Amino acid sequence: MKLHRIAILALSLPAIVQLTPGQTRQFDVLVTGARVIDGSGAPWFYGDIGINGDTIAAIGSLPGATGKLKLDAKGLVVAPGFIDIHSHGDRGILRVPTAENYLREGVTTIVGGPDGSSALPLAPFLDSVSKKGVSINYSTMVGQGTIRTQVVGLANRKATPEEIERMKQLTAQAMRDGAFGLSSGLYYVPGNFTPIEEVIELAKVAGGMGGMYISHMREESSHSLDSVRETIRIGEEGGLPTQVTHHKIIGKANWGMSVETLKLVEQARARGVDVTIDQYPYTASGTGIAALFPQWALEGGQKSVVERLNAPETRARIKAVIVNNLQFDRGGGDPKNVSISSCSFDASLAGKDLAEITTARGAPVNFETVADTAMELQAKGGCGAIYHAIGEEDVVRIMKSPYTMIASDGEIPVFGTASPHPRSYGTFARVLGVYVREQHVLTLEEAVRRMSGYPAERLKMWDRGILRPGMKADVVIFDPATVSDKAEFRNPHQYSVGFRDVLVNGKPALRNGEVTAERPGRVLYGPAHQKN
């Protein structure tokens, strides 16, 4: 079996250090008595870890060593800080720079700019994060949808050769600014208006500069197989690593389709396509209420949507699609399966489902009246929504795939505000508590690898994601017997428990379960970054 590239890198680093009883060594931070899980997937071992500055200096038996900060980890697990390869933290990190929801589940690095949407240009935003002072590391992809919007707008048409060239230039500049690759949201406007050939052209640019491609596929329900094939083709013809992000199967009639999607991934890898997966461990997805609408109805932005809703014949066509989606797709066959996570025009709607909102409007609850409710919400500006329409068997099957890593698809919420998906608070802790400790879907070592070494390898973050001398000291200490998620769909603002200490670049961002005054996070730049 071939070693992962990150494991090969780790083998080239300085050997594990052992001090003889007569030796002493001073470290900035000394972690003792740890059950070390190093992020490579290797079996755990007991050891000590010495850290100097932002770097791991020694791992092994370190008798006689001292530390300016000494952390007794007896009975606890020490692991690399978790890397969230799909996060919407870019829309909250400046507002909540402590990112406490992530710290309390062991995340030390997030990757923003997912689903085809990112800041553009990137450099000013990354500078603002760097100057703000944050508790966790921040990195980003560049969004294909954002690039297309800037050049083509929200029109449903092919780009001209001149526009494609301009988009390629923007992609290259974003890579030089520090992007780790190209993200797409081919389910969303304007990604869903984009021919595959156009995406491939941008992917070639990102890949030629060392980046990867990560995609919210065009469809995650009845046409999931075609969408996985498309993601694979973009990676294959674009010549770069490709990833099916937050992989799921939506709609009860489609449950079980992950058997075939995973076969497609295996077959592609067998012929040399570098394709992988990430997922979150929940049976509900989260996106806008507009996900119930036909994609053609969203062309041109909100003003155009309102015009279509005010035209009786067009409104009837839109309503028919929403009814179908409520019955057989994201609605899961019951209006109670769709709840509002946030609404800018009416904060009181957060946490309520479409059946409750329809009743409050004085209408009987059926698919037609609920469709009217959805159209009314979108006409007022739209809302965030949570959709309970994923099967647990698919979640477990995808998680068992050796090509799957863990990612939250979450955000950095203001604690107590709105009703976000609990994945923002509990993704990584939930995997460790439910799918490792309770259900034994993964071993503890493998789960840690899916959260650290594997995404680090994918992103080419060669100095993070694994515990070895010479690697950056992003380190978490947690209790495997008590770690668990607490966030619930009806009560999402609850931090995960079980993480005692979190070090970011060698400094404690979480100490004895409390957020510190340190802001040790950094902006991490991609492989083609060029300093101005």
Domain ranges of the chain: 82-286+389-459, 287-388
- Predicted TM-score (pTM) above 0.85: yes
pLDDT value at residue 1: 37
Q: Long-range CB contacts (< 8 A, 24+ apart) of 145-148?
A: 145/115, 145/116, 145/117, 145/184, 145/185, 145/188, 145/189, 145/190, 145/191, 145/194, 146/116, 146/117, 146/118, 146/119, 146/120, 147/120, 147/171, 147/174, 147/202, 148/190, 148/191, 148/193, 148/194, 148/198
Question: In 3D, which of 202, 82, 208, 91 has the Cα closest to residue 144?
Answer: 202
The C-alpha R_g of the chain, in whole angstroms, comes to 23
Cα separation, 129 vs 126, in Å, equals 5
Backbone phi, then psi, for 293, in 5-degree steps? -85, 155
Q: How far apart are CA 214 and CA 235, in angstroms?
A: 9
Structure tokens at 447: 């789960």
The pLDDT of residue 22 is 57
CA pair distance 85, 464, nearest whole angstrom: 13
pLDDT digits (tens), the chain, 532 positions: 333 444 444 444 444 566 655 566 999 999 999 999 999 999 999 999 999 999 999 999 999 999 999 999 999 999 999 999 999 999 899 999 999 999 999 999 999 999 999 999 999 999 999 999 999 999 999 999 999 999 999 999 999 999 999 999 999 999 999 999 999 999 999 999 999 999 999 999 999 999 999 999 999 999 999 999 999 999 999 999 999 999 999 999 999 999 999 999 999 999 999 999 999 999 999 999 999 999 999 999 999 999 999 999 999 999 999 999 999 999 999 999 999 999 999 999 999 999 999 999 999 999 999 999 999 999 999 999 999 999 999 999 999 999 999 999 999 999 999 999 999 999 999 999 999 999 999 999 999 999 999 999 999 999 999 999 999 999 999 999 999 999 999 999 999 999 999 999 999 999 999 999 999 999 999 999 998 7
In sequence order, the 6+-apart residues with CB closer than 8 A to the CB of 12 are: none
**Structure-block tokens of residue 396:** 């477990």
Read off the tokens for 380.
Answer: 């007022």
Pairwise CA distance, residues 129 & 109, whole Å = 13
Answer whether 107's CB lies under 8 Å from 82's CB.
yes
**Contact (CB, 8 A) for 102 and 110:** yes
Which CA distances in Å does 73 have to 24, 40, 378, 470, 482?
20, 20, 51, 21, 15
Euclidean distance between the first and final Cα of the chain, in Å? 42
Nearest partner of 467 among 453, 483, 447, 451, judged by Cα: 453
Q: Which residues are bridge partners to 34 per DSSP?
A: 47
Helical packing angle, 392-400 and 258-270, nearest 10°: 20
pLDDT at 23: 62
Handedness of CA 88, 92, 97, 100 (dihedral sign): negative
Do the strands 107-112 and 137-140 form a parallel or antiparallel pair, or are they unpaired?
Answer: parallel
Question: Can you give the pLDDT at residue 18?
Answer: 61
Residue with tokens 């491609």: 213
- Nearest Cα to 372, choosing from 334, 316, 308? 316
Fold of 82-286+389-459: TIM Barrel (3.20.20)
Q: Cα torsion at 154, 157, 159, 160 (round to 10°)?
A: -130
CA distance 153 to 172: 19
Beta pairing partners, 497: 484
- Cis peptide, bond prior to residue 43, ω within 30 of zero: no
The CA distance from 199 to 206, in Å, is: 11
- The closest of 456, 516, 475, 452 to 28, measured between CA atoms, is 475
- Those residues whose C-beta lies under 8 Å from the C-beta of residue 232, and which sit 6 or more positions away, are 242, 264, 265, 268, 273, 275
DSSP 3-state of 385: strand
Report the DSSP beta bridge partners of residue 142. 182
Nearest to 467 by CA among 5, 4, 1, 6: 6
Closest CA to 53 of 33, 73, 67, 71: 67
Q: Are 464 and 456 in contact (CB under 8 A)?
A: yes
Q: Strand, helix or coil at 27? A: strand
- Count CB-CB contacts under 10 A for residue 19: 17
Give residue 61's region: left, alpha or beta (phi > 0; psi -120 to 50).
beta
